[in-house]
Every structure is written in structure tokens, then in C-alpha cells.
Structure 1
Amino acid sequence: MNITIISNHYYPEDSGIGLYSTGMAEFLAQKHTVKVIGATPYYPQWKIYQEYDKKGLFSTEVINGVEIFRFKQFTPQIPTFKGRIFQMIHFFMGSFFNVLKIKKNDIVIVVMPFTISVILGWFIKIFRGGKLWIHVQDFEFDAAFETGISNKKGILSRVIFRMERFIFNRADFTSTISNGMLNKLETKSNAKKYFFPNWIDHSKINPDLAKPSSLFNASKFNILYSGNIGAKQDWEFFIDFVSACQEMKHVQIHLIGEGAKRKEVVESLKQFQNCKYYPPVRYEELNDVLCNTDLHLLFQKHTVIDSVMPSKILGMMASAKPSIVTGNEYSEVKYNLEISEGGFYFYQNNKLQEIMGILKNLMENPELSNIVGNKARKFVIEKYSIESVLSQFQKDIENGSVSNF
């Protein structure tokens, strides 16, 4: 088959959507001809990577059997709602010329965000044939409104959601990464629906292969947040937690990542000696970091329900370490942690005292940490392994079916 993938995020971006778009493309390229229309890499720093900044507006490269056509899009240093809208439009305009480089097509898979990229996929379907598949990694407009980046009331929101629905209905198939997001997709599109979760390569996130990390002090109880430092996380609560841990001399908290809120958050944490910040580590080092901490944290805003299913959860659980997560009562993350018994989820407003109780219990009972962590790893291997998820997806696109819905 001739498969075209349109994704704003792609290798060498090795976190979030870029990691999964790359994994999908390279897996499919083992049997099929795969071409990618992508952006110049910029995430999570919100700055075009140095090795690509020297290139022109258009560039082409072949990586692991996948041919990639890139356009150097506008990238705002601070990702405001208007800045991201302009970035979407600029990527669309430039990538239209890369669409013309696609000569054969059996299926075009558009990874969202960006929503407007679906129009590029529709053009390919019309002029080169094949099916159009929309895969939603993030409902970008819903997320913007839920996190307060833009006002959900008013003419702008009505226009945006009507446009979104029109675009979704151009597809033959639509898919997304969580059951909650699948329910949301039902309200936005009449196309056939498909559950296509993110996956974990448990051979790469494997505690048996982890080497000691220089970031951690083995004599301390190490707590880790690793990921995007953006608007969806509850940084006020994170700071309250760091403050509450000040009196616990054996606790060291580590914040690793990059994002729109990084400067603001790091500045607020300077007053605390028990919290250290580090820039993102390379993917090759991620296993050592995830598997050597004693506890993972993910504090999400309670207003964010399932506009996005944080992919970092799978890595956290695969590390065989317990996690403490906060967020909305109806979150997919809550469901997964509860049925796996692989972590602790809180959604009440007065949750800090309870979380501190869990923390002390884990510190005093290492065996509890081992039990919870091992349950988490067992769960993600059984349900979200790369082999089962991508093999099933490849089988379904080859058959033109959506058998798992």
C-alpha cells in the first residue's frame, strides 16, 4: 500500500505526538511505502531545532525507510491561542506544496493536531485517491478552552467548532486514543470510529535494563515529574506539594521537561531546596530516569477531562514505579489506574493531605511501592504493548475495516 501520514510532530521530536507518529510510520514502512508530510521539529522547546533552522523553507529526508517532506512553519516562542492558530495556518499553506509531491495514495492518515491539516489529507484523497483517516491525539480547540487559553463563549468558539465538525465529516474513518475521547468524537463526526490507543515499547522502558541515573541521589526518596510543562498541568498544586514536602528531609523532587509554563514554574520553585529542574533528557536516557525514581507525579487541572490522554502515563506505569495523579473525576487515566491498581488517583479539592499520607506510606513501606509498580507495568504490557496495538492497526487498514470498534 501507499500510505501518506500528515503530522505536525515527527522525529527527531521524541516525546508526545512526535514519538507516536514516528513509531506508526516506521512500523507501517516495514511492509508498505510510507511518506510523511511534516513540520520542522520544534517541540517541546517551542523553538525550531538548531540542525533544521539552517535549512530552507522546504526539506526532504529519508529516515528508517520513511520519506519525510518538511515545511519550516512559524513557531511562536510563547504558544498563545492566536499564535498557535497562526502556526496552524502557516503550516497548512506551506505543506500544500508538499501535498503535490504525493503521486500515489491508498490511505492518508492525518494526525491531529493540527485540525486544519485534515484539508490537506482531503486534497490527497480527491486528487490521488484512497481513504482519509483522521487520528486525534489532541482535541486542540477543546483543550484550549478547558485550560483557559481562550474563552469558550462567543462567536469565535462557535465558528471554530462548526469548522471542526465540517472538517471531521470529510473523513472515511476517525480514531482517537482513549474511550473518553472516543465519546467526544461521537459528537463531532459522522464518520466510522476506531479506538487506536497510544502504546508503550516495554522493551525500551524496562526496569531490568535501567542503569543508575546521575540525576538522582540514591540516599533520598526521589519523586519525578517528567514531561511537558504546559497549561494542562496544575502547577499551583505542584508548588503546594513541593512546599508541603519541605519538612521531609529525605525527599527530593525532580522536574524534567520543557513547555510554555517552564520559566514561570521554575522561577516559582527557586525558593525550595528540595526541588531541582532539568531540561528534557534524550529518549535513550528516558528508561534510566523513569525506572530509577521512587514515585511519579502528574498533577492535572480538574477541568481537563479527556481532551487529551497523557501519553506519559504509559511510560510511568511501564517503569514499575507507583504514580500519584490528580485530575478530573471522569478521566480515562483514573479508570486505568483504578483497574490496574497501579497508582493513586485523586480528584477532590482537599487532596493534598491525602496525597501526603500516601507519600509517607510509600516511604515507610517499600514493599507496597513494589507491588503497586509491578501491577502498573503488568497492566500496560497486557493492554498497550506496541506489538499488539500497531499490528492490529496495520491489519485493519489493510482490510479497510474498523474491527475493534
Structure 2
Amino acid sequence: MIHSLTRAAAALILAAAAAPAAALELSGSGFGTLGWAESNREYRYERSIDEHGSAERDSVLGLQVDARLSAQWSATLQLKVAESIEQDRRWDPTPTWAFVGWRPSDDWLLRVGRMRLPLYLYSEILDVGATQDMARLPTEMYSIAPSNEFDGLTATRTWNLGDDELGLDLWGGRARTTARFWSRDGAEPIRPAGANFVEVDVHVLGAALTLRQPDALWRASVHHVRTRQTDGARIPVTLPRVELAPGVGFYKTDNSIPYGPALQEVSTVTNLVFSLGVEQRFARHWRVAAEFARDIQQDTVLGANTSGGYVALFREFGPVTPYLVGARLRSTSGTRAWFRRLTENPLPADVPGAEAINAGQRMAAESTWATDQRSFALGASWALASGQKLKAEWKRTRIGQMSRLVDTPAGSDTIHDTHLDVWSVNYNVVF
């Protein structure tokens, strides 16, 4: 149903583009970022950043067509080319927006098709680097959602409050997306070592309240998300402990293991995500931005259950805007404890089946997406001309017990209690 609506929206947009010019108003725009990021570590961070450097993490090119069909009807189509979500070291074109809008009055807007979730403060400009000053929006906040786009319906109600505008967004729909899991050693043929990509089906309902003021932007949102793997794989609710001898045991991760009680499993997991963000100008040349999100995992002990956020301070000097950012992303103590249980005490090698059991525990830990990290960044943007910005940033990330954003090399211990530095530079443009 939802995918049919999205296809219908895209078809209407394309039909509008082919209609006589007198019947509609067309406008086109585009955006792009050419970026380079390099760290001081040999292992990869955020999929593609390592000591050899990468253009894949930040580079993007997007094109957008807006069609005004009448006083009440409009349509938007946006395509972007960026790092693939389905495979490492690959670029893919994807439709990020493809919707038709109907405005029955000045206060109401109804849209159907593919749209951006208004989860974050900067969701609408997520890919458009020229419209904000940070070289990279903080990953500790902007990696919480499994998907930033969805196919469905959105209703928006706005109220004009003098110089202010209050908006309420309500939406529902689904997204077919891909989750990336890094397996340090894997376990052939179940899971190969390295990056593994799993297709997931996401159903989302949510609401966001946004207040726009001359010197401030506020947003609060709540999301109800249900996720399942499209291959029908089931997820354990918890992992029972199996004792083989005093002080020797393991956590059962699969019902093929002939020890211990049968696993209780679910096919769908539920998350509740709450977010709050603000950008405030508090002096002539000073701005502060802050966001926080809480992702509450239900149905299983294995999965995302995190708190993340950041605070950023900006000071404008004409065309140059230096900034400082402090950010943090941390799983709950329960999630971190499960990761440690599954990785720190493997079975001795002389126990029959120990290799397979230890590999299963390791992969179960990797599937929790457990994270414990904080970062500090110092950067600046330089407005070269209208619609163009050059940015540079140094960021130090402190990894605590673990981080799902790190690809641990094969055979190595979990990367923990260390730090890495990332240097980034990018050129951004809108046209």
C-alpha cells in the first residue's frame, strides 16, 4: 500500500514535469559536498574513515525538482548520490524525496509519498552542507534512527503566533532499509567476517512539534518504530545461561545448540525514540545548538538502547564561523553488560563445540550495536560566496567500553579505552 502510494507520487511528479509549462510552475535546485576525512587509526570508523583517508563519508550530490501544480497542489522529487547503505566502497543513487502535497488551507498541508522524518533539528537539511556550519553533523546524535526517509502520509498543522510559527507534524508509514553489522571474525557459512548487510522493514508512527522564532528553532518529537528482518529471521528475547561445570558456561544464542532451555524469540522489535533540540542566537554573533535523543529498546535485550546528543557553540566573524562541539552516545548499562558477558569470558578451547559457541556469542554481542563514546570537535566554516562554504574540522573521539561505529580488525580484541582523531575538510554548494 505505502510503496504503491510512493510510486503514484513519483509518477504524478514525472507527469507534472512533462505537462505544458502554462499548466504549472517548475523550479530546480541542487546541492553537493566534496569531502575528505582521515583518521590516525588503521581500523575503520563510521564505515569508511581510516588512516588512508576517504571521500566516501561526506561526499554527496543531490538534485531536486519542485512543481507547483495549482494554488493547492505541489510535488517534489529529490535524488541524491552518496555512499551506499547496501555495500561498502560503493556509491548509489537514491530517491530521498518523492511526494505530492495538498494544501487545503493556509494552515494545513497533507503529503503522500517519500519524505524525511522530522526527527532531528536539522532533518530537512541533513544532506545540504552549505546550509549549516558544522563539517559533519554529530554522529552521536544523527546515527540513532535506522532510516531518515519513509514512505507514507504526513499531516502538518501550523499556527502563526505573531513573529513566531508553531508547527505540528503527524506521520505514519514504512521504510525498507538496510542495517549494517560488522562481524570481527564471522562464522562461515552463517555470517562472513567483515561488513554484513541485512534488509529490514521499518514501520513508523510519530509526531513532532516545531517552534520557529526570529532567533531560535525548537523541535521535540516522539517516534514509535517496529522493525523486522525481511528474511524472517527471529531475535532472542534474552539469552539463557548454560552451566557446564562450576565456573564454566556460556550464553545460548541459537536453538541448534543442544544444551539449555529453548530460546524465546520474536520476529519484530519495538523502539520508542524521543528527541529534543534547540538552536538559539543569544548575542549578535553567537549561537548555540543542542540536541538529545533517547532510544528505548523493547522486546529484546539485544538491540539499540541508547542516549545520544551534543552541544555546539558558534561565533561568527563575518564570513568565517568557528565552532566547538561536545557529543556523546552511550548504550544503557544493561546493553553494555550484555556485550561484556558475551565477549569477555569465552569457553576454553578444549570444550567440545567451544569454537562455534564462542563465535555465536561474539556475533550476538556485535548485533546489540552497543556503544560507549564521547567526542570533542573544533572546526570552522568559511562562506566563500552565496551558496558556497568551505569547512574544516578536527575531532577527537574517546571510546570507552566499545563502539558500534568502529570496525574491529579480525582477530583483535574489542577496541576500547582509547581515542582516535579525525581530520575533515569539505567544500559545500547549493545551486
Check whether TM > 0.5: no
Q: Which has the higher helix share?
A: 1
> Could you state the TM-score of these two structures normalised by the residue count of structure 2?
0.27
Q: Which has the higher strand share?
A: 2
> Could you state the TM-score of these two structures normalised by the residue count of structure 1?
0.28
Considering Cα pairs closer than 8 Å and 6+ residues apart, tell me whether 1 or 2 has the greater RCO. Answer: 2
Q: Which has the larger radius of gyration?
A: 2
